[in-house]
């Protein structure tokens, strides 16, 4: 079986599983105890009704299965199979950590500790999922020592995890990011890994429909798994095509949620608040107040998709598009705040 046939089969199966989860989301959420209750006192959670946190269950099982089947059918040799097996293990572990938080409210420090442990084990055992060097467009390779490379990889993955988790505050954002990242990686990954991207895209497209209608949320289980899946796939793509895919191209992929997270952490630190404390100062909150939803969603995703398309069409210009992303992010944030009557 070639990768095209496997990708097609997995995509169809992913659609079926995600659609099933979407249809039975409410009873499934009650059965598993995965429910998100709105804040009656007008807090951060302002959705209209109790919503099941089961989006991750429509994504992660099919992606993990797709990864294991890819390892079994398409890879040649124990080394390549092991890389995909560890990828599947990391995504599954992150999903379970997030699921436990959705169910039992683990707390930020416990979540962070468990995530660091799970990701560290995967990075150490799968060299293809770790950053061994950093190479930007127009520059020569900068090699990292093994220990520092693993530490840098962990820092990047934990940072992305935090950014994705912070972005998961309005319907469609994280799923939309996942769809964009799936498309970008379709043009970046080696063919052997494309069935995984196809499976993720198919499941996310179906879940997007249910999520925008308020039928389900991803939950921490879904957002944690998405951050691990696409972060590790991006590193895998980078390690297998570093002559064309540079570090700045990877940075463009994740720039918008990361920029927003950095801004929020600086603002909270300046106000002497915990960086884990929730508020309504995220980019998506400002877009919602100014443009409504889902119009604010389409603008958010356009800021992500546009520069990534530019980086794809004009290889070697990743740093330019990273700067463009930053300018678009700042301009959109300032415009939304001014038009909503807030100080810039």
Residue 138's pLDDT is: 74
Residue 200 predicted with pLDDT over 80? yes
Mean local confidence (pLDDT), 94-117: 94
Integer Cα distance of 333 and 344 in angstroms: 8
Residue-wise pLDDT for 242-274, tens only, equals: 777 899 999 999 999 999 999 999 988 887 787
Mean local confidence (pLDDT), 115-138: 92
The pLDDT confidence band at residue 26, using thresholds 50, 70 and 90, is very high
Residue 342's pLDDT is: 59
Mean local confidence (pLDDT), 222-242: 95
Mean local confidence (pLDDT), 325-334: 95
Residue 337 resides in a domain: no
**DSSP one-letter code for 142:** E
Percent of the chain whose predicted confidence (pLDDT) is above 90: 75
Residue 43 predicted with pLDDT over 70? no
Integer Cα distance of 184 and 250 in angstroms: 10
Residue 256's pLDDT is: 97
Domain count for the chain, please give it. Answer: 1
Residue 261 resides in a domain: no
Residue 196 resides in a domain: yes
Residue 301 resides in a domain: no
In this structure, the number of other CB atoms found within 10 A of the CB of residue 89 comes to 18
Tokens of 87: 């990828």
Residue 1's pLDDT is: 83
Residue 50's pLDDT is: 87
Please enumerate in sequence order all residues whose Cβ is within 8 A of that of 341, keeping only pairs 6 or more positions apart, or say none. Answer: none
The pLDDT confidence band at residue 197, using thresholds 50, 70 and 90, is very high
Residue 341's pLDDT is: 60
Mean local confidence (pLDDT), 34-44: 70
Residue 141's pLDDT is: 67
Residue 11 resides in a domain: yes
**DSSP H helical ranges for the chain:** 3-23, 25-32, 60-73, 78-104, 108-125, 146-167, 173-186, 194-212, 219-240, 247-270, 283-291, 295-313, 318-339
Residue-wise pLDDT for 298-308, tens only, equals: 999 999 999 99
Mean local confidence (pLDDT), 286-296: 91
In this structure, the number of other CB atoms found within 10 A of the CB of residue 290 comes to 19
Residue 287 resides in a domain: no
Residue 47's pLDDT is: 55
Lowest mean pLDDT among 29-33, 76-80, 195-199, 319-323: 76-80
The number of angstroms, rounded, from the C-alpha of 191 to the middle of its chain's C-alpha atoms is 21
Residue 120 predicted with pLDDT over 90? yes
Residue 340 predicted with pLDDT over 70? no
Tokens of 291: 């443009």
Please give the model's pTM, rounded to 2 decimal places: 0.94
The pLDDT confidence band at residue 172, using thresholds 50, 70 and 90, is very high
| Parent domain of 167 | 3-242
| pLDDT, the chain, mean | 91
Residue 76 predicted with pLDDT over 70? yes
Contact (Cβ atoms closer than 8 angstroms) between residue 37 and residue 50: yes
Residue 152 resides in a domain: yes
Residue-wise pLDDT for 57-70, tens only, equals: 999 999 999 999 99
Residue 33 resides in a domain: yes
Please enumerate in sequence order all residues whose Cβ is within 8 A of that of 273, keeping only pairs 6 or more positions apart, or say none. Answer: none
Residue 51's pLDDT is: 93
Residue 107's pLDDT is: 86
Integer Cα distance of 129 and 272 in angstroms: 36
Residue 92's pLDDT is: 98
Residue 37's pLDDT is: 82
Lowest mean pLDDT among 23-32, 72-81, 330-339: 330-339
């Amino acid at each position: 079986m070639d990768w095209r046939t496997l990708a097609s089969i997995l995509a169809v199966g992913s659609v079926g599983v995600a659609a099933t989860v979407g249809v039975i989301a409410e009873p499934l959420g009650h059965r598993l105890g995965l429910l998100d209750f709105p804040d009656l006192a007008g807090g951060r959670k302002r959705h209209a009704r109790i919503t099941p946190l089961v989006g991750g269950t429509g994504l992660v099982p099919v992606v993990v299965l797709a990864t294991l089947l890819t390892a079994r059918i398409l890879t040649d040799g124990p080394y390549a199979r092991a890389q995909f097996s560890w990828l599947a293990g990391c995504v599954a572990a992150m999903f379970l950590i997030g699921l436990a938080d959705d169910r039992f409210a683990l707390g930020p420090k416990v979540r962070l500790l468990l995530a660091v442990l799970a990701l560290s084990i995967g990075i150490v055992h799968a060299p293809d999922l770790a950053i061994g060097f950093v190479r930007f467009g127009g520059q020569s390779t900068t090699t990292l020592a093994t220990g520092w490379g693993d530490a840098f990889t962990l820092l990047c993955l934990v940072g992305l995890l935090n950014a994705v988790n912070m972005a998961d505050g309005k319907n469609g954002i994280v799923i939309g990011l996942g769809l964009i990242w799936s498309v970008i990686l379709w043009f970046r990954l080696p063919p052997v890994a494309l069935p995984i991207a196809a499976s993720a895209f198919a499941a996310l497209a179906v879940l997007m429909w249910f999520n925008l209608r308020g039928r389900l949320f991803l939950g921490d289980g879904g957002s944690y798994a998405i951050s691990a899946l696409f972060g590790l796939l991006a590193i895998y793509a980078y390690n297998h095509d570093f002559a064309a895919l540079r570090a700045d191209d990877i940075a463009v992929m994740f720039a918008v949620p990361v920029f927003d997270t950095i801004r929020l952490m600086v603002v909270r630190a300046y106000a002497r608040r915990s960086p884990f404390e929730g508020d309504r100062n995220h980019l998506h909150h400002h877009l919602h107040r100014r443009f409504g939803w889902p119009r604010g969603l389409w603008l958010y995703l356009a800021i992500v998709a546009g520069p990534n398309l530019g980086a794809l069409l004009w290889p070697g210009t990743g740093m330019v598009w990273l700067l463009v992303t930053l300018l678009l992010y700042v301009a959109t944030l300032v415009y939304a705040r001014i038009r909503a009557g807030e100080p810039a």
